[in-house]
Amino acid sequence: MRFSTRYLIGGTLTVYVITTAIMLVSFFKKHSCDNIYPYDALSVDRLDYSLFEFVSISQVLRSQIEETLKSELPPAVDDTLVILDDLKALNNVMHQMERHVDERAARLVLSQPVINYHNFSYIHNPTYYCTESQINVILIIPSATTNFEKRMAARRGNKRDYVLNVENRAKLLFFLGSPSRGGNIHTVQKNIDQEMKEFGDIVQEDFEDSYKNNRLKSVSMLRWVSTYCSTAKFVLRTDDDIEVNVSALISVLHRTSHSLNNFIIGMKRTKDPPRRDNSKYYISEQEYPYPVFPPYLLGGLLGYPVSTARLLYEAAMRTQPIWLEDVYITGICAYKLHIPILEDPEFVFKHE
């Protein structure tokens, strides 16, 4: 048994080292070519990205090795215990490396001038929301000003059930802009005021609430969480018309946080070209002159640590914006900060 155990350990670690090396070589090769994304403007050293790739792939491979050892070998086997201890030590080292890369990326971002001042005033701002009790998870829902029924459905659904369980230490908030021009602005705002008086769960800024301003709404959520809910651990962002298993999503966030300090989880899109036709998602060449978007996550369901929200907010104030908020926040800003965007089979939703 000891003989086969050593072969398994040796083989797994060999795969670990070789795979990491291949990833690094592939990364250098990929970035030695002309960039097709706006990454040249990010002013971040290529070595930082290589370290980030190294840390990320190491975390994944180490987790796989540890799970294999735990499931395939009896825990009392001496070699198993030794290698698990070594993996724990290695995990601490890699966490230190990740923190150093994160800190350097954050310093580089913060050293750049602010070009997007998000200084909109609050119409409604429950600043006390995260200070009344210790919060672990803040559920944030972007919502159109006239989506009264969808907000009521969200308050009655499984998100409400999760929040009402005090052991989960969770809160739910809706984020709105001001009513769009062209409608009955005063009536809509009066109804929002009454809704806020009744439920107390609305954050509203005074930018115009329109589809083209979704980027502003996304930044408003990052701003509020960073300023008024900084002691929470995780952010779960969902649209107001989707159904999710909140407990399963939070479990994914907890599991991922064991390996990474900062990350975003959602449904990934890769190699999407910008739409130049008469599309809902049209973006001009002047605003985005590149042939494809960077990898990004769809905005309907996102999860990340509060520390990630803080970094994304700082990056969004210092990065040339595009109006497509999911590409901008989870594609361009996340890459600038070395924040990995991830998928998980349990991190899913369906429309109600």
pLDDT digits (tens, 9 = 90+) for 177-191: 999 887 789 999 999
Q: What does CATH list as the number for 122-351? A: 3.90.550.10
Contact by Cβ (8 Å): 293, 330: no
The CA distance from 137 to 163, in Å, is 9
Closest to 109 (Cα-Cα) out of 42, 194, 59: 42
Work out the mean pLDDT of the chain and round it to a whole number. Answer: 83
The CA distance from 334 to 222, in Å, is 13
Residues 6+ apart with CB under 8 A from 46: 28, 31
Is residue 1 over pLDDT 60?
Answer: no
Burial profile 11-25: b = 16 or more Cβ within 10 angstroms, e = fewer: ebbeebeeebeebee
Q: Kind and range of the H or E element at 237?
A: strand 234-238
Is residue 33 over pLDDT 50?
Answer: no
Q: Any idea where the domains of the chain sit in the sequence?
A: 2-110, 122-351
Q: Which residue has the tokens 């779960």?
A: 236
pLDDT for residue 46? 54
Token couple for 178: 């001001």
Q: Which residue has the tokens 């999911």?
A: 326
Is residue 137 over pLDDT 50?
Answer: yes
Residue 63's pLDDT band (cuts 50, 70, 90): low
* Distance, C-alpha 97 to centroid of its chain: 20
Contact by Cβ (8 Å): 250, 137: yes
Residue 3's pLDDT band (cuts 50, 70, 90): very low
- pLDDT digit string (tens) for 40-59? 444 445 555 556 666 666 66
Report pTM: 0.78
- pLDDT digit string (tens) for 266-287? 999 999 999 998 899 999 999 9
Is residue 99 over pLDDT 90?
Answer: no
Paired sense of beta strands 170-178 and 242-243, if any:
unpaired
